[in-house]
Amino acid sequence: MKTKFFLLACFFCSVGLMAQNMNNVRIAGFTRDNSRKFIHVPNLMGYKTLKCDFHMHTVFSDGVVWPTVRVDEAWQEGLDVIAITDHIENNPSKKFVGGDDNSSFDIAKPHADKKGILLIKGAEITRKMAPGHFNALFITNTNELDTPNYMDAFEAAKKQGAFIIWNHPGWKAQQPDTCKWWDVHTELLEKGMLHAVEVFNEQEYYPIAFDWCDQKGIAYTAASDIHGLVQNQYDLNKQHRPMTLVLATENSESALKEALFARRTIAWFGQYLAGKEEFLREFFMASVKCNLMSENTKEKVYRVSNISDVPFLLKSADGVSIKIAAYSESMVEIPLTSNGTFEVTNLFIRSKKNLSAKFPF
Ligand SMILES: [Zn+2]
Ligand SMILES: [Zn+2]
């Protein structure tokens, strides 16, 4: 009897082995699935909040990745919009890769279309200070911006309908001891050739640039200026890359362009937001909800939910500190002696002005 069972088992085993391909066996689930993270930010004031990074490089200037990699990174991280902004005047890879100043966009565009990432055509005008470095977005032919005189490059960009951002104004390689607004920046502003500034770039921010945005009516932006892989620069398990949130009527190039020229932006970097007071207030109020849970003779206890990936750090003039954690619920105790007025210390309108808000929100 035992022998019969043994023979039967051998028979079924051999049938199983025969069914298996001996040449090539793929292990299901062994490689990373092609999933996309959600970035949690509220839509505001009837607009869609687009998550955008308008500054990055590829092998077509001094970056180290192929243009399609930038699209895959943006897809995985949950971004809606990117602009590849290779340096026009600085291309150390030129002797190894062919093409012209339009190549990185031309290579990435079909891949971006396939993945549903809005790829904006851009380039970095790369000059010594002053005026410094600028990203021109929505251009149509990058080669026309490659001119000996920098003002001719700005003229060409303007003629193509560009939205122009002053990049990393306080970068120490160009302004080692200061972050100065030069006369040429006033000239560019007056000629309609300067529309925004990076208040944050890669890993640093320039508080004085918040004041420029407020005083000169230019848009707040934040960008990665990534040259290597995003995952090597930022810990994506704990944070998002820096980005500009744009309040647009829809996710399309024309709506994005309209929103940028209307300056409907918020710069987001780490736990900080910088932007116009009305947009920061809307963002805060749309993110946070308070529920009173209990009350005694000393304090009120609230459960505060936050649907955004931005934490909120609050401090009152009478010394009460509150942390509302990102995308979670927090228990918050407010002493009855508190008048309920708080500064949101990680939300900047100007270098020395935070958003203020009255509790309960
Ligand atoms: Zn630069
Ligand atoms: Zn750059």
**pLDDT single digits (tens) 162-215:** 999 999 999 999 999 999 999 999 999 999 999 999 999 999 999 999 999 999
Question: Which residues contact residue 348 at a Cβ distance below 8 angstroms, ignoring those fewer than 6 apart?
Answer: 207, 210, 272, 273, 274, 275, 354
- Give the integer Cα–Cα distance in Å for 193 and 179: 20
Q: What is the pLDDT of residues 32-91, one digit of tens each?
A: 888 999 999 999 999 999 999 999 999 999 999 999 999 999 999 999 999 999 999 978
Q: Quick one: which ligand is closest to 133's CA?
A: 1
Closest ligand, as measured to the CA of 168: 1
Q: How far is the CA of 86 from the centre of ligand 2 (A)?
A: 7
pLDDT value of position 361: 85
**Which ligand has the nearest atom to the CA of 169?**
1
Q: Which residues partner with 117 through β-bridges?
A: none
pLDDT tens-digit map of 289-309: 999 999 999 999 999 999 999
| Contact of 310 with 328, CB cutoff 8 Å | no
Ligand nearest 132 Cα, by number? 1
- Topology of domain 48-275, CATH: TIM Barrel (3.20.20)
Looking at the DSSP bridge assignments, the partners of residue 81 are 52, 118
Output the CA 171–ligand 1 centroid distance in Å.
Answer: 9
* pLDDT computed for residue 4 by the predictor: 56
Give the start-to-end residue ranges of the domains of the chain. 48-275, 289-358
Rounded to whole angstroms, how far apart are CA atoms 251 and 262?
16
How many angstroms separate the CA atoms of 210 and 334, rounded?
31
pLDDT (tens digit per residue) in 334-360: 999 998 899 999 999 999 999 999 988
Residue type, 216: K
| Section 300-322 average pLDDT | 95
Indicate the pairing of strand 288-295 with strand 353-358.
Answer: unpaired
Q: What are phi and psi of 190, to 5 degrees?
A: -70, -30
Entry pTM: 0.93
Show the tokens assigned to 279: 């947009």
Whether 229 and 28 have beta carbons less than 8 Å apart is answered as no
CA of 248 to the centre of ligand 2 (A): 25
The confidence band for 14, taking pLDDT boundaries of 50, 70 and 90, is low
Max distance between CA atoms of the chain, in angstroms, equals: 99
CA of 136 to the centre of ligand 2 (A): 11
Average confidence (pLDDT) over 243-265: 98
The count of residues in the chain is 361
In this prediction, residue 17 has a pLDDT band, given cuts at 50, 70 and 90, of: low
**Domain 289-358 falls in which CATH fold?**
Immunoglobulin-like (2.60.40)
Of all ligands present, the nearest one to the C-alpha of 171 is 1
Closest by Cα among 361, 359, 321 to 339? 359
